[in-house]
Structure 1
Amino acid sequence: MFSFLGGYRVRIMQRLAALVEAMRPYHWVKNVVVFAAPLFALALGLGSLLRVGWAFVAFSITASAFYLINDARDIEEDRKHPVKRHRPIAAGLVPIPLALGTATVLLGAGLVGSYVVAPWLALTIGAYAFIQAGYNLGLKEQPIIDIMVIAGGFVLRALGGAAAAGVPPSGWFILCIGLLAFFLGIEKRKAELREVGEEEETRLVLQEYSLSWLRRMESVVTASALMAYALWTLEGADTEWMLVTLPFVAYAIFRYQYLSERGKGETPTEALTHDTGMVLSSLLWGISALAILLLVR
């Protein structure tokens, strides 16, 4: 009897562990962009940080809900992918009803909790959920639009952080975030295509892309992102001393391209957190930007 109960408990714990893995908490690091607007506005009081902290949680659990929905919907395609076939849902470790039920709870918690904190935050969470739903229902199979949806998700995260902190975002801020996010989306597709090969049978949208086309897109967006950031430091920032941070941004962009060429850009969070060059450039950028803002004010 006790042996049976012990085995049942172990199976429950294993399923819960697989469910948490399917939620991809390691991707939550992408949601730190919610702190960008409060950081540059130096809205770093305890109350502001708590509200932005909830924005981080709300975007994280909302994103996890759509990871579950996406994996449940793409289960057959993921089983053909050399890496994605090991995901918990594709591998059969998490039943589809459990995944979808958990996703519903997470979505509800994200929306209701955000409305309590700040109605505008709930609006951005709702918009984020809307475009993610569109992504799962077919936009992810539309070339270019799929990358634009990925970029839009980052912009909404940034706007959500601004809403939670009560900080009005500038046009320069939105432009820089959007272009950098579009760059990451292109690199993600490029790394995915290099991973599976241009001739292999895989998800439909990858069959629409080619490495040569993605590299042309990459050139345009990279130049635009660097120029937008440089112009922001000169025209939109509180001080032109922010131009000092441009080399760190340039290095991070080119370093990410370097990693993508070696097939390491499919998962941005891994590249941003496991590569020494990316980690150091991000830290140096953050420290120098914060120091300049504090000294100016």
Structure 2
Amino acid sequence: MSGLASAAVAGTATRPAPGIGAAAQGRSPLALARGLVRTSRPRQWVKNVLVVAAPVAAGQFWSWHSAGRLAVVFGLFTAAAAAVYLVNDARDAAADRAHPVKRYRPVAAGVVPVPLAYGTGAALGLGAAGAAAVWCNGMTALALAAYLIMQLAYCVRLKHVLVVDLAVVAAGFLLRAMAGGIALNIPLSRWFLITTGFGALFMVAAKRYSEAVQLADAQGATRALLTQYTPGYLRFVWQSAAVVAVLGYCLWALESGGVAHGALLPWRQLSVVAFVLAVLRYAVFADRGTAGAPEDVVLRDRPLAVIGLVWAAMYGMAVADL
């Protein structure tokens, strides 16, 4: 009996974790490719559309040259973001296996080997920075390199530092928004930087607040840093950031004065109404603690989408002096 018990214990000790062993033994090139794509978070690629923000704000988006250059910048930031996700999942593979949701990520589940995730991430990151220097300009390459350095530092250390973690994630959005203007040599307005930066901080803090509210009774099941924040503090951050973003946008809109020459109405000033409504609508989800995924809120809420389209129409007419 003791021999059988010893054999059973030994068998249990050497048995691979459920799912991981099967995935490791059944890898195929197609499975690896799918796993790498899943790890690069295709749903997050929509965030890189921010690269058109500065050119659209300056009215310099409507040319084949500009559109082509911005398409390149979009692709480069998508590759850079994928590199960061691959490195992040490779670093967190062991911890993710203990998480009820993250254990299904391809690296944690063993579909994508950790060395392959590291290698692919490094290749994408270096390739994106090099391509930016060749296909765009030195400043675009510098912005992309700054994005990569900050996000990798976030993965390694900064995501464990109070407040700094919020600033780094918001800065990632801001760098995306700046990159399009830098690539086309467009001067960046101070109001554009203030509105974009604090708008990003508003969404980041709202996301953290939602996570803190939803997982208040499950400490340790998600970001360890959430246990050091209080919901009240995160609420204060997203509310303050929303106020500054709205104020920055209002100052930009009112800076131009009255109706532009040839325009029917003061579209820039009127767009403030749509912008404020969009912030207030998003704040509803933040206040409920359901703004955990900004892309889901923006893409799935129909009233918010309609408000966004109205704002875009007003802004477009302001740029075109209609």
- TM surpasses 0.5: yes
Query: How many residues matched?
Result: 289
Residues 1:259 and 1:92: Cα distance change in structure 2 (over 3 Å): farther
Give the aligned partner of residue 194 of structure 2. Answer: 175
Task: Return the alpha-carbon distance in structure 2 between the equivalents of residues 198 and 70 of structure 1.
Answer: 26
* Amino acid across the alignment from 1:19: L
Is residue 304 of structure 2 the alignment partner of residue 278 of structure 1?
A: yes
User: Aligned to 1:220, which of 240, 259, 265?
Assistant: 240
Task: Return the alpha-carbon distance in structure 2 between the equivalents of residues 83 and 248 of structure 1.
Answer: 37
Task: Return the alpha-carbon distance in structure 2 between the equivalents of residues 261 and 78 of structure 1.
Answer: 28
Give the aligned partner of residue 4 of structure 1. Answer: none
Give the aligned partner of residue 11 of structure 1. Answer: 28
Give the aligned partner of residue 23 of structure 1. Answer: 40
Residues 1:11 and 1:262: Cα distance change in structure 2 (over 3 Å): farther
CA RMSD between the two structures:
2.1
Give the aligned partner of residue 69 of structure 2. Answer: 51
SS of residue matched to 1:242: helix
Q: Which moved more, 1:234-243 or 1:53-62?
A: 234-243
User: Aligned to 1:89, which of 93, 104, 107?
Assistant: 107
User: Aligned to 1:113, which of 131, 135, 142?
Assistant: 131
Task: Return the alpha-carbon distance in structure 2 between the equivalents of residues 271 and 29 of structure 1.
Answer: 13
Give the aligned partner of residue 84 of structure 2. Answer: 66
The alpha carbon displacement at 1:40 in A equals 1.6
Task: Return the alpha-carbon distance in structure 2 between the equivalents of residues 260 and 11 of structure 1.
Answer: 42
Q: Which moved more, 1:189-198 or 1:162-171?
A: 189-198
Give the aligned partner of residue 3 of structure 1. Answer: none
Give the number of the structure whose alpha-carbon radius of gyration is greater.
2
5+ residue gaps, structure 1, are 1-7
Task: Return the alpha-carbon distance in structure 2 between the equivalents of residues 18 and 259 of structure 1.
Answer: 32
TM-score (normalizing by structure 1): 0.90
For residues 222-276 of structure 1, the C-alpha deviation after alignment (integer angstroms, 9 at most, x for no partner) is 1111111111111269955312112222222222222234443222122222221
Q: Equivalent residues in 2 for 1:231-242 (5 A)?
A: 231-235=251-255, 241-242=267-268
Aligned residues: percent identity? Answer: 34
Task: Return the alpha-carbon distance in structure 2 between the equivalents of residues 162 and 287 of structure 1.
Answer: 21
Q: 1:172 touches 1:236 (CA, 8 Å); kept in 2?
A: no
Residues 1:24 and 1:165: Cα distance change in structure 2 (over 3 Å): same
Give the aligned partner of residue 120 of structure 2. Answer: 102
Q: Equivalent residues in 2 for 1:102-181 (5 A)?
A: 102-116=120-134, 117-181=136-200
The alpha carbon displacement at 1:9 in A equals 10
Q: 1:62 touches 1:106 (CA, 8 Å); kept in 2?
A: yes
SS of residue matched to 2:66: helix
